[in-house]
């Protein structure tokens, strides 16, 4: 929204045959006028005044909001998964999506296993579509830890690092590099935070305290205890 507002976008053109067209048809009508179909594309005109509140939001602020919301939502998904009595060691991103613990339209890239994972303790193969997919990590890291990761710039991810660094067993950015004091990497990378049982329970509790807008039906306190009492393998 802030991008559209800062660039004074008036019309959005969507090709009717792209894989994202269905998701866009659900999103765009929330802030545009009636769509117009023309020769294989659909035109969405942005309603006057709809984006005014976003004009003063900077790119860094928009990225921080998106990254933090995503990371906290992954914590909530992990918590809800455990609170339902499921084995935390079997949690994967695809399983969370299938169980509707995360919005399916949050898929944002190809499922892949980077070369640096191959042959390491974090290697998710042969399940290539599980622990890391769509630039997100959700699932076990090694035998005894759970990893949660999102991709972005250091400036965008910095609030997450500051909020949960004390709870994490280890922090990687850009993964597979261990985050060092004073790191100010200018590129994009995967922030991977690895938690043991106690650290994850603290992070879940912290998410509940710092993100009151997260789903109220998520029993974060009980789920934190479930994770603390359950094996991660």
Q: Kindly report the CA angle at 72 between 50 and 212, in degrees rounded to 5? A: 70
Q: Is the pLDDT of residue 196 over 80?
A: yes
Q: Are residues 193 and 117 in the same domain?
A: yes
Q: How far apart are CA 106 and CA 109, in angstroms?
A: 9
- pLDDT tens sequence across 148-158: 999 999 989 99
Q: Does one domain contain both 38 and 74?
A: no
Domains identified in the chain, total number: 2
Helix/strand/coil for 141: strand
- Write the CA distances from 20 to 16, 68, 77, 85, 102, integer angstroms: 9, 23, 24, 34, 17
Same domain, 50 and 63: no
Task: Average the pLDDT over 195-216 and give the result.
Answer: 75
Residues 179 and 97 in one domain: yes
* Domain with 207 in it: 59-229
Per-residue pLDDT, averaged over 172-185, amounts to 81
Same domain as 80, residue 160: yes
Instruction: For residues 184 and 96, state if they share a domain.
Output: yes
185: buried, middle or exposed (CB in 10 Å: 19+, 13-18, 0-12)?
Answer: middle
Mean model confidence pLDDT for the chain: 76
**The pTM of the whole model exceeds 0.85:** no
Answer yes or no: is pLDDT of 85 > 80. Answer: no
What is the mean predicted confidence (pLDDT) over 2-18? 80
């Amino acid at each position: 929204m802030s991008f559209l507002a800062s660039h004074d976008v008036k019309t959005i053109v969507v090709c009717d045959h792209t894989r994202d067209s269905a998701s866009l048809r659900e999103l765009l009508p929330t802030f545009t006028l009636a769509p117009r179909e023309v020769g294989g594309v659909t035109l969405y005109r942005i309603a006057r005044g709809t984006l005014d509140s976003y004009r003063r939001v900077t790119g860094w602020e928009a990225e921080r909001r998106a990254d933090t919301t995503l990371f906290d939502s992954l914590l909530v998904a992990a918590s809800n998964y455990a609170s339902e009595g499921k084995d935390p060691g079997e949690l994967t991103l695809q399983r969370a999506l299938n169980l509707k613990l995360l919005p399916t339209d949050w898929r944002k890239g190809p499922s892949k296993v980077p070369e640096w994972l191959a042959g390491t303790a974090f290697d998710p193969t042969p399940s290539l579509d599980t622990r890391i997919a769509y630039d997100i990590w959700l699932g076990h890291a090694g035998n005894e830890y759970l990893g949660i990761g999102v991709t972005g710039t250091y400036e965008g991810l910095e609030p997450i690092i500051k909020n949960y660094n004390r709870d994490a067993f280890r922090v990687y950015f850009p993964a597979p590099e261990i985050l060092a004091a004073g790191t100010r990497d200018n590129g994009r990378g995967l922030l991977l935070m690895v938690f043991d049982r106690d650290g994850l329970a603290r992070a879940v509790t912290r998410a509940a305290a710092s993100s009151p807008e997260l789903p109220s039906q998520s029993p974060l306190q009980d789920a934190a205890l479930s994770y603390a009492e359950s094996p991660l393998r």
